[in-house]
Amino acid sequence: MAVSSDKPIVYIVSDAIGDTAEFVVKAVASQFNSGNAEMRRVPFVEDKLQIKAVFKEASGCNAIIAYTLVVPELRKVMEEEAAKHTIPTADILGSLMEAFSRVTCKEPHQEPGRIHRLDQDYFRRVAAVEFAVKHDDGKDPRGLLQANVILVGISRTSKTPLSMYLAHHGIMVANLPLVPEVEPPEELFWISPEKIIGLIIDPGQLREIRQERLKALGLEDNASYVAVERIEEELAYARRVMKKIGCAVFDVSNKAVEEVANRIIQIIKGGEKT
């Protein structure tokens, strides 16, 4: 089979945002070591002229057209244009919608972007994720006062993964690293202890995690970052700060992110005590 040296261009055509098609395309491209394929989104397609323009631009290129069109008229135009050209096309939703129709004996709603219905919960989750990114790892301490939950702990105690997991549940989370040489921001002590969660971990497990982190970065694992004495010093300092705050303390040793996050959610929603 001939192999083209040109980087493939994938046109992602959708009558909504196009997230679904792009996700599928990236998954497939990874199977061909083509993670660097160029993606060109054409979202919110409303008429046949936009579809015709895509085929015109894609002609002569090393291109593929992947589409998620739920409006019947647009799907028909896409199929007609595909029949006129030699450009490979992929209907991401079509065959599965037909299968659902056969099994359920119902017709699809034919509403673009239905999966991303912009309801109140959707906006809340998006805002929470943006907040978590903006206030990750101690960025902008002023955000501590706006957060629903603040996670504090030393390096590699799952602060960021926990923040993102909670954010996808619509919870506004900020996280703050505790480092012996750096005083915590004063804002941390203005906040109710009930909104703050301290994270600790077994020193031996933390040392292994940090060693793996250094290896992943291509660095030597003899740095003070992984020294047992340094880790115990950091944990002792963190415990002193947490005691001063008077916050709940979670031991994340050998626990999955989901387990710890769900425990935090229970406390937030139910007002449980640790």
Domain edges within the chain: 9-116, 120-270
The pLDDT > 70 percentage for the chain reads: 89
What's the average model confidence in pLDDT over 105-114?
Answer: 62
pLDDT value of residue 114: 54
d(CA 225, CA 230) in angstroms, rounded, equals 7
Cβ atoms of 55 and 87 within 8 Å: the answer is: yes
d(CA 148, CA 219) in angstroms, rounded, equals 36
**CB crowding 22-55: b at 16 or more within 10 Å, else e:** bebbeeebeeeeeeebebeebbebeeeeebeebb
Q: Residue 211: pLDDT above 50?
A: yes
What's the average model confidence in pLDDT over 52-57?
Answer: 93
pLDDT value of residue 2: 42
Run of H or E including 134: helix 120-134
Helix (H, G, I), strand (E, B) or coil at 43: coil
The pLDDT > 90 percentage for the chain reads: 56
pLDDT value of residue 93: 80
Strand pairing partners for 248? 197
What's the average model confidence in pLDDT over 151-166?
Answer: 95
pTM across the whole model: 0.59
- Taking only the tens place, the pLDDT of each residue in 110-148 is 555 555 555 667 778 889 999 999 999 999 888 899 999
Angle ∠(201,204,209) on CA atoms, nearest 5: 75
Q: Residue 271: pLDDT above 70?
A: no
Tell me if 9-116 shares its fold with 120-270: yes
pLDDT value of residue 3: 43
- Taking only the tens place, the pLDDT of each residue in 162-202 is 999 999 999 999 999 999 999 999 999 999 999 999 999 99
- At residue 273 the predicted structure's pLDDT band, cuts being 50, 70 and 90, is very low
For domain 120-270, the CATH class is alpha beta
**CB crowding 189-221: b at 16 or more within 10 Å, else e:** eebeeebbbbbbbeeeebbeebeeeeeeeeeee
pLDDT value of residue 108: 60
Q: Residue 210: pLDDT above 60?
A: yes
Query: Which residues, other chains included, contact 244 with Cβ-Cβ below 8 Å and sequence gap of 6+?
Result: 189
| CATH assignment, 9-116 | 3.40.50
Ranked by mean pLDDT, which of 10-14, 80-84, 187-191, 233-237 comes out on top? 233-237
264, amino acid identity: I
Q: Residue 81: pLDDT above 90?
A: yes
**Average pLDDT in the chain:** 86
Run of H or E including 251: strand 248-251
pLDDT value of residue 5: 47
Query: Which residues, other chains included, contact 207 with Cβ-Cβ below 8 Å and sequence gap of 6+?
Result: 226, 228, 231
Run of H or E including 102: helix 94-104
- At residue 244 the predicted structure's pLDDT band, cuts being 50, 70 and 90, is very high
